[in-house]
Amino acid sequence: MQFRQVQATLHSWLGIVVLWSGFLIFFTGSIAYFRTEINLWSKPEIFLYLKKPPPSFESAQVAYDYLNMHALEAKRWRVNLANSRMPFNTLEWQDKTNKYHKIQDPNTGLILKEVRESLGGDFFFKLHYSLYPLPDVVGRTLVVIIGILFLIALITGILTHKKIFKDFFVFRSFKGQRTLLDLHHITGVVTLPFYLIMAFTGIMIFFYLLMPWGINQQYGENGIKKFYNEIQYINPPKLAADSGIHLKEFSTFSSQLPQQGSNGTTLEKFEVKNPNTTEALITFDYGYKKLITFNNPQFIFLANTGRQLNNERNLHPVAQISSATYGIHLGYYASQSMRWVLASLGFAGCIMLVAGALLWQKKRIKQQHTLSYKIVSYLNYFTFLGLPFATAMYFLANRVLPTNLEHRVQYELLTFFISWIGILIIPMLIKMQKAIILAFIFTAFILLITVLSPVFLSPQAFILNTWLHQQWPIAGVDLVFIFIAIGYISACYYFRKIQMSKVNK
C-alpha cells in the first residue's frame, strides 16, 4: 500500500470516528460567534429599555455603585459593560451560598427584573467546548480528543489529494457521488486554514487535560492556577498589608485610567476580587481590538487604597503563543463583519462534513442492508438534520415558554434534547428519503414560527417592531432565521428534484 493510500485509509477511519461529534462542535462553535446577540434576543422583556449606551466610564460607575451597595459580602464581582452589541451592563457576583446574574440599565442603574431565565447563546458556547450538560472535565476532555483526531483527519485529507487546488475549481452538479466529492473538496480547501488553526488552538487551550503531568511535577497537584499566573504575568500583582477594608470611590480609579487603551479600545469590563476586605483588588480590562493575544490593556488597583499595581505581562514568545491560542480561537478581536466570515467558515466546515459522510455512504451503497450502514445513516440523520431541528426548537422554547416558569432554563434544555432524540422517530416510521424532506420542512416551519410567535406573546420582540426601532442585533437574529428557513425550503425542493430525476432514470 502506498503512502497516499495509507493516508486515505486513515482519513476515512478518523473522519468517520469524529464525524458526528465534529459536526456538533463546528455547528455550535459557529453559532457561538453570535452568542452576545442571541443572549440579547433571548430576553425580550429588556427590549423596552433599549437605548444607546452611555460612555463606558459612566456605565462602570453605575454598576460599581450598585454592587457596592448590594453585594458587600460577595467574594467577587464581574461586570461586562454596555456596548453596541449588548447595550446593558451584565453584573455577576457570588457570595457564600449563591451566584447572581443581573442585567442593568446603564443609563438609570435600574436592575431589570421580570426577565425570563434563559441561557440564550451561552448554551451553544458551553455545548461547543464542554458538551454541556456533561460534567465539565469529561466534556472538555472528549472535545480535546475529538479535536486531535479531527486535526489528523485534516492533515491526512491534505496528503490524500494529489490535485488539491485543481480540484478546488471543479464542481459537477447533479452527478451523485462525484458532486459530493467535489463539494467535499471545495468546502475542505476553503475552510482548511480556518480549521487547522481552530483545531490546533482548541487543543492547546485544554492541553492540561490530556497532559497534566508536566504541570503536576513542577507545581504539585492542582498547580494549574499557579501555572497560568506565571505564563500570563511576570510579576503577579502583590497585595499591600496596610490597606483598609472599604472600597474607594469609583472616581479614584477612573481618574487614573486612560479614556482609550493603547489599541484604541474603550473600557469593556471590570472585576473586583474580595471586595470590602483587606485583599480587595480591582481589575479594569479594555477591548481586544487588533489583538490576537489576550494581552489587552489592563489596569489593576488595590481597591481599598486606589494604588495602581504593577502587572507586567509575560511577553516571552512561548507565553505569547499560549495567549494567542485563546485570542485566535475565541475571536474576541473580530469585528462584526469578521465574525460573519468566521461563522460562515464554520458552517462551510459543517457542509464539508455532511458531504464527506454522504460520500462514505454512497461508496458503500451495496451494503445498505447491513446493520453498520443503517447505523451510519441514522447517525447522519440524527446529527445533520436533528441538531439544526433541536436548535430551532430551543429558540422556539425561548419564545413560547411562560416567562415566570420555575426552572425555565432546564425546560429549554429539555426541549432541545428531547426534540433532538425525538427526531429519530421520523425515519423509524417512514422511508429515509421522506424523513429527510420532513426534517427540512419541520425545521423551516419551527424557525418561522419562532420569528412570528412574539406577535401575541411579546409584541416588542416582533421583527417588524425591532426593525422599525432599528434594533439590529435583535432583528438580525430573526432575519437569519428567516433566511435559514428559506434555505431549508429550497434544499427540500432540490432534494426532491434529485430524487425525481433518479426515479425517471
Partner 1 sequence: MDKKKSEWLSIREIFYICLAAYAYSVWISWVLPDYLPFAKAENIYFSALLGFIFLIFYIVLVPGLHSKRWQKRINYLSYVLLLGYWIIKKIGEH
Note the residues at the interface with partner 1 (CB under 8 A): 1, 3, 5-7, 9-10, 12-14, 17, 148-149, 151-152, 155-156, 159, 200, 203-204, 207-208, 210-211, 213-215, 217-219, 227-228, 230-231, 314, 316, 318-319, 321-322
Nearer to partner 1, 226 or 289 (CB): 226
Please give the DSSP secondary-structure letter assigned to residue 63. H
Closest CB 321 distance from partner 1, rounded Å: 7
Nearer to partner 1, 65 or 312 (CB): 312
Q: Convert 240-274 into a string of H (helix), E (strand) and C (coil).
A: CCCCCCCCCCHHHHHCCCCCCCCCCCCEEEEEEEC
Closest CB 391 distance from partner 1, rounded Å: 31
Closest CB 20 distance from partner 1, rounded Å: 16
Nearer to partner 1, 39 or 320 (CB): 320
409-438 residues labelled b (16+ CB within 10 A) or e (exposed): eeebbebbeebbeebeebbeeeeeeebbbb
Greatest Cα-to-Cα distance within the chain, rounded to the nearest angstrom: 87
Closest CB 201 distance from partner 1, rounded Å: 11
Number of other residues whose CB lies within 10 A of the CB of residue 490:
12
The C-alpha atoms of residue 85 and residue 81 are separated, in whole angstroms, by: 11
Nearer to partner 1, 168 or 207 (CB): 207
Closest CB 401 distance from partner 1, rounded Å: 43
Q: Closest by alpha carbon to 413, among 32, 188, 211, 126? A: 126
Nearer to partner 1, 234 or 464 (CB): 234
Closest CB 328 distance from partner 1, rounded Å: 14
Nearer to partner 1, 319 or 392 (CB): 319
Q: Closest by alpha carbon to 385, among 305, 327, 446? A: 446
Question: Radius of gyration (Cα) for the chain, nearest Å?
Answer: 25
Strands (E), 15-85: 76-80
For residue 111, the cross-strand partners are: 104
The C-alpha atoms of residue 188 and residue 428 are separated, in whole angstroms, by: 32
Closest CB 155 distance from partner 1, rounded Å: 6
Closest CB 256 distance from partner 1, rounded Å: 30
Q: Cell 451560598 sits at which residue?
A: 97
Q: Which amino acid is at 479?
A: L
Nearer to partner 1, 18 or 451 (CB): 18
Tell me the CB-side half-sphere exposure of residue 300, using CA atoms within 13 A.
17
Nearer to partner 1, 102 or 161 (CB): 161
Closest CB 308 distance from partner 1, rounded Å: 25
Cis peptide bond upstream of 133, omega within 30: yes
- Cβ within 8 Å of residue 300, ≥6 positions away: 237, 281, 282, 283, 284, 308, 309, 311
Nearer to partner 1, 241 or 318 (CB): 318
